[in-house]
Amino acid sequence: MVSRFGDALRTSALPLLAARLTDAPLAIASVTACGYVPWLLFGLLGGAVADRVDQRRAMWAVDTVRGLLVAAFALAVALGHASIPLLLLLAFALTTLQTLFDNASTALLPSLVDRRALGGANARLMTGQQIAGGLLGAPLVPLLLTAGAFMPFAADASTYLAAAALVASLRTRPPERAPRPAGSTLRTEIGEGLRALWQDGALRATCVATLLCNIGMGALIATLVLHVTRWLHAGTAGYAAAMTAYSAGSITGGFLAQRIARRTGRVRALLVAGTVQTSALLLIGTVRHLGALVAGMLLLGAMNMVWNVNQVTLMQQRAPESMTGRIASAFRTSSTSGAPLGALLGGAVAGAYGLNGPALLAAALFGLAVTSLIPVRKPDVPVVAPRDSATAGRAPS
């Protein structure tokens, strides 16, 4: 949660810094896109490595390196050396390291929490991250920027180093794993994760739906600063209000995620979330008022949390423990591949059709995502069934 607070400072400050450096929508969107590209290049490798190593050690080592990188970037900004290429390099480097960190953390949780409690654990974890990151971190960005453009990044660096120290202080037993078969390679193990994801109908459909949503969100987030400051003329305060509303909605969604899943099943919870998000995006893209944007972002954040909690829990419950990292990386790499495409597409649409165009594009893509989940909406199949086409909202006994 400490590092997520710093992440919120950085992710809010980067597009604002990019907007100061250039007026080109595509260049600004490229900063966001570059932050996703490493998932395409290294995501699968990160999952395979996460299944081989001590996940706790991997997490604190990655946070240490990320802290040093962001500290160096903050120094460069303070000295007046900020540039779009430097922003692109930072985004690429941090996400490259994140491919190992995120897969390691996803694989570590099922070994610490009973599988019947994974939904609640994910909800509490993600809600805590949103409180620390979005609700507390994002609103501080305009204040920090008044003290200097480097300040959000200096704060982010300190949170990475603090998080590394906290993770390193944890006392957990080394992971117990069966010996790998003779001749097993990372390439072979990556292939096993991809096949396991593809053969599970519910996970495959969820991955496709998440891919479509990520294309839409990539388009929206990459151009949101332009939507707020130039289409709505709401300035940086409006941008901060939008991001804060999204975070507040996410916290609300953290409390709703398990309740919705218990009533509907996990896949149907995704259907509910996707439908509400589609409506929120239509509101954002058609009503030219800051109040409409804040309301839309509130709904978008709430249902995004419902989606994320149930999607991650579904994956953890259906994946064998020895393959969680690989299946998680296969899912993330496949679904996250849409984000850089969406960011670039959003920049192009904003330049060609207007700054509200990316929100309307996102609404159409979310609608397609909801449609793609309908065939696997049955709620009565146990979540632990390994290769069926539906899932349930209850945990395994």
- Label residue 18 by pLDDT band (50, 70, 90): confident
Is residue 118's pLDDT more than 90?
Answer: no
Mean pLDDT within 187-208: 87
Over 70: is that where the pLDDT of 383 sits?
no
Please report, for residues 234, 299, 302, 310, the alpha-carbon distance to residue 10 in angstroms, rounded to integers and kept in the order given: 21, 23, 22, 27
The pLDDT score that the predictor gives to residue 214 is 92
Contacts for 358 with CB less than 8 Å, ≥ 6 apart: 219, 220, 222, 223, 227, 285, 345, 346, 349, 350
To the question of domain 2-170+186-376 being in CATH 1.20.1250.20, the answer is yes
Q: Where are the domains of the chain?
A: 2-170+186-376
| C-alpha torsion sign, points 156, 161, 166, 170 | positive
Per residue in 250-271, pLDDT tens? 889 988 998 898 888 888 999 9
Q: What is the mean pLDDT of residues 67-93?
A: 90
Q: Are 2 and 127 in contact (CB under 8 A)?
A: no
Long-range own/partner contacts, residues 348-357 (CB < 8 A, 24 or more apart): 348/26, 349/219, 350/25, 350/29, 350/223, 350/226, 350/227, 351/25, 351/26, 354/231, 355/25, 355/223, 355/226, 355/227, 355/230, 355/231, 356/227, 356/231, 356/284, 356/285, 356/286, 356/288, 357/285
pLDDT of 390 over the 60 cut: no
Which of 39-53, 88-102, 219-233, 300-314 is least confident? 39-53
Mean pLDDT of 116-141: 71
Q: What angle do CA 266, 269, 275 make, to 5 degrees?
A: 150
52, 179 in Cβ contact below 8 A?
A: no
Give the 3-state secondary structure of 283-322: HHHHCCCHHHHHHHHHHHHHHHHHHHHHHHHHHHHHCCHH
Residue 225 has pLDDT above 90, yes or no: no
Contact 14, 87 (CB under 8 A): yes
First to last CA, the chain: 31
Structure-token match 């192009």, residue found: 348
pLDDT in tens, 338-354: 887 888 899 899 989 99
pLDDT at 391: 35
Q: What is the pLDDT of residue 107?
A: 74
Count of beta carbons in the 10 Å neighbourhood of residue 245: 22
Beta bridge partners of residue 392, listed in sequence order: 380
Q: Are 248 and 137 in contact (CB under 8 A)?
A: no
pLDDT grade for 395, boundaries at 50, 70 and 90? very low
Alpha carbon distance 217, 361 (integer Å): 9
Nearest Cα residue to 302 out of 257, 256, 259, 249: 249
Torsion angle defined by CA atoms of residues 237, 152, 165 and 323, in that order, rounded to the nearest 10 degrees? 70
CB 363 within 8 A of CB 274: no
- Residue 397: its pLDDT value, please? 28
Q: How does the average pLDDT of the chain come out, rounded?
A: 82
Report the C-alpha gap between 171 and 125 in whole angstroms. 19
